[in-house]
């Protein structure tokens, strides 16, 4: 039997990292088994669903490199993959369930429900609605005939229990005493998540439901519904949720939670995908940096961790650095050049682009995020460097600063060529001449030229800057140093 899985997010917010991971695990499982990955929109909540969020989800999945075989945008044998366009089907199923006695119109008032809940709670019992106020068929008929509305509830068999085998959690058992007669069709005729999702899973022939643990306790409802529809329940796998660094539920107060935010902050899709894969699953050996092919080859739901993992951006950044360094130099340039341009507020001309391409590899070596590049190279493309105060304070106030600047000027002004080897030779001679150590002698030059003590290598920076501007910066730094002393 062909494996068929789905990722069915509600477009009620931007795709977050946890959703991305759920999608990734579904995709890996499908690809590992030569199955079908379906993308569906569980957008029954018309109030909160928006096209913008829907688009963000599509963008996020595509960015992560996940492709789907059926579903939104690509279509498929089951037609529409949006719940908002399948309303009649859910109503039809609900009606059939009422006809068969598996569900019923519920006439209980909100007040009745509330007092039941309150009573149960104060008695220390499960606050479960078990059809206590279920009306007779005649009463229901009368109510409806008079134009009254009512939600349809599923009649959970009592007593009873639902037992199933979860691929990541093992054997699970739920006593129906703790399962509500849940609403499947609201009084306005729209389906709830339970109905719509289950109907779609049955209709689309979903064989494995891989989703977040937040719906674990609703699973008995879905199995019961499936059975009542005459369907074969899927195999379930519930993934533990992601937490923030403090071990609490991951939320905005922990920082960015949307995939989009990380993309914009310079995280590479490959790094994010790899990190998400490793967060709750292990490829087996000690390797953690793994290709998508390897992930697909080794992925097993039964090997997925049961405990909630902390989404740790430190490790994500480390991994991003690994991916960044693995990038071909040209690609790194292509990816970061727009960021440099936006930092400058203008585009680079051809000459400048060539300068950037020459210096970029040195930046690539030390970057953790794509966004780290621009701040390190803007000194090349502005008329006057802005000195970093801390850097200036640290090196320019030292005795050697003046000696180094004057010495460098003397050596460089008459230099024949302007390439980093020649510059290095000249400056090392300067060191020798004044008896300066490399760090004492070169740091002032670095700050003079790049504005900061953290920058690409000195000689390459000087070469890239060009003779005129380089000398000019050394001079103005020397002037400032002498005026301050």
Partner RNA sequence: GCCCUCAUCGUCCAGCGGCCUAGGACGCCGGCCUUUCAAGCCGGUAACACGGGUUCGAAUCCCGUUGGGGGUACCA
Residue ranges in 130-149 that form contacts with RNA under rule CB under 7 A: none
Q: Is 310 in the site for RNA (CB under 7 A)?
A: yes
Q: Which of residues 20-49 bind RNA (CB under 7 A)?
A: 42, 44-45, 48
Return the residues of window 451-470 that contact RNA according to CB under 7 A: 453-460
Q: To the nearest whole angstrom, how small is the minimum distance from the Cβ of residue 254 to RNA?
A: 12
326 binds RNA (CB under 7 A): no
| Binding to RNA in span 203-222, by CB under 7 A | 213-218
Catalytic residue among 221, 249, 252, 315: 252
Cis, peptide link before residue 380, omega less than 30° from 0:
no
Check residue 201 for interaction with RNA (CB under 7 A). Answer: no
Cα–Cα–Cα angle for 446, 449, 452, nearest 5°?
Answer: 55
Rounded Cα distance, 408 and 394, in Å: 19
Q: Which residue has the tokens 């320019």?
A: 396
Q: Total binding residues for RNA by CB under 7 A?
A: 88
Region near RNA per CB under 7 A, out of 199-207, 240-248, 347-355, 403-411: 240-248
- What is the secondary structure of 324-385 as a DSSP string? HHHS-HHHHHHHHHHHHHHHHTS---HHHHHHHHHHHHHHHTT-SSGGGHHHHHGGGSSSSP
Smaller CB separation from RNA, 119 or 410: 119
312 is an interface residue for RNA by CB under 7 A? yes
Residue 392: CB minimum distance to RNA, A:
13
Alpha-carbon distance of 39 to 35, in angstroms, equals 13
Question: Which residues within the stretch 44-103 sit at the binding site for RNA (CB under 7 A)?
Answer: 44-45, 48
Q: In the complex with RNA, which residue's Cβ is closer, 252 or 346?
A: 252
User: Residue 336 in contact with residue 353, Cβ under 8 Å?
Assistant: no
Smallest distance from RNA to CB 387, Å: 14
Complete edge-to-edge strand list for the sheet that includes strand 235-239: 70-71, 36-39, 4-7, 208-212, 235-239, 161-166, 170-175
Q: Does 308 bind RNA (CB under 7 A)?
A: yes
For residue 159, state whether it binds RNA (rule: CB under 7 A). no
77: DSSP letter: T
Hey, what are 349's tokens?
């001309």
Stretch that binds RNA, among 56-64, 70-78, 266-274, 311-319 (CB under 7 A): 311-319
User: Which residue in 7, 442, 465, 481 binds RNA (CB under 7 A)?
Assistant: 442
Does residue 187 belong to the site contacting RNA (CB under 7 A)? yes
Active site residue 252: yes
Contacts of RNA in 337-376 (CB under 7 A): 365-368
Instruction: Single out the segment in contact with RNA by CB under 7 A; choices: 170-178, 200-208, 337-345, 378-386.
Output: 170-178
Closest CA to 372 of 446, 311, 321: 321
CA dihedral 152, 154, 155, 157 (to 10 degrees): 180
Q: Which of the residues 108 through 127 are near RNA (CB under 7 A)?
A: 110, 113, 117, 120-121, 124-127
Q: Contact between 388 and RNA (CB under 7 A)?
A: no
Calculate the alpha carbon distances from 366 to 22, 317, 439 in Å. 32, 12, 19
Give the residue numbers marked as catalytic.
252
């Amino acid at each position: 039997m062909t494996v068929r899985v789905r990722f069915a997010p509600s477009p009620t917010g931007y795709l977050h990292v946890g959703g991305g991971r759920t999608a990734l695990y579904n995709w890996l499982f499908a690809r590992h088994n030569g199955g079908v990955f379906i993308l569906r929109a569980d957008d029954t909540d018309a109030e909160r669903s928006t096209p913008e969020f829907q688009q963000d989800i599509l963008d996020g999945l595509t960015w992560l490199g996940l492709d789907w075989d059926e579903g939104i945008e690509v279509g498929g044998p089951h037609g529409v993959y949006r719940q908002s366009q399948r309303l009649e089907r859910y109503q039809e199923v609900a009606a059939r369930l009422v006809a068969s006695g598996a569900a019923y119109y519920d006439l209980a008032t909100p007040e009745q429900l509330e007092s039941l809940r309150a009573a149960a709670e104060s008695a220390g019992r499960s606050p479960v609605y078990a059809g206590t106020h279920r009306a007779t068929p005649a009463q229901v008929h009368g109510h409806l005939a008079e134009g009254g509305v009512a939600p349809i509830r599923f009649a959970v068999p009592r007593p009873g229990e639902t037992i199933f085998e979860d691929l990541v959690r093992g054997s699970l058992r739920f006593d129906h005493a703790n399962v509500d007669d849940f609403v499947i069709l609201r009084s306005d005729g729209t389906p709830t998540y339970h109905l719509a999702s289950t109907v779609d899973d049955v209709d689309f022939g979903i064989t494995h439901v891989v989703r977040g643990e937040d719906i674990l306790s609703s699973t008995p409802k879905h199995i019961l519904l499936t059975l009542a529809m005459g369907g074969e329940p899927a195999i379930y796998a519930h993934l533990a949720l992601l937490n923030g660094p403090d071990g609490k539920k991951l939320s905005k107060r922990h920082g960015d939670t949307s995939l989009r935010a990380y993309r914009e902050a310079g995280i590479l899709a490959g790094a994010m995908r790899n990190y998400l894969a490793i967060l709750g699953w292990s490829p087996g050996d000690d390797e953690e940096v793994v290709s998508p092919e390897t992930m697909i080859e080794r992925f097993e739901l039964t090997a997925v961790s049961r405990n909630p993992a902390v989404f740790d951006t430190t490790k994500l950044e480390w991994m991003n650095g690994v991916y960044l360094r693995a990038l071909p130099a040209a690609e790194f340039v292509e990816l970061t050049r727009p960021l440099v341009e936006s930092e400058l507020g203008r585009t680079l001309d051809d000459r400048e682009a060539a300068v950037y391409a020459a210096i970029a590899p040195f930046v690539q070596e030390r970057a953790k995020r794509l966004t780290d590049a621009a701040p390190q190279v803007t000194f090349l493309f502005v008329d006057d460097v802005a000195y970093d105060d801390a850097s200036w304070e640290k090196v320019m106030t030292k005795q050697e600063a003046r000696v180094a600047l004057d010495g460098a000027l003397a050596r460089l002004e008459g230099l024949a060529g302007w390439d980093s080897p020649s510059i290095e030779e000249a400056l090392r001679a300067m060191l020798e001449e004044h008896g300066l150590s490399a760090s004492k002698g070169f740091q002032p030059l670095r700050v003079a030229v790049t504005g900061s003590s953290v920058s690409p290598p000195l000689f390459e920076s000087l070469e890239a800057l060009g003779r005129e501007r380089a000398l000019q910066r050394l001079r103005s730094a020397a002037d400032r140093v002498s005026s301050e002393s």
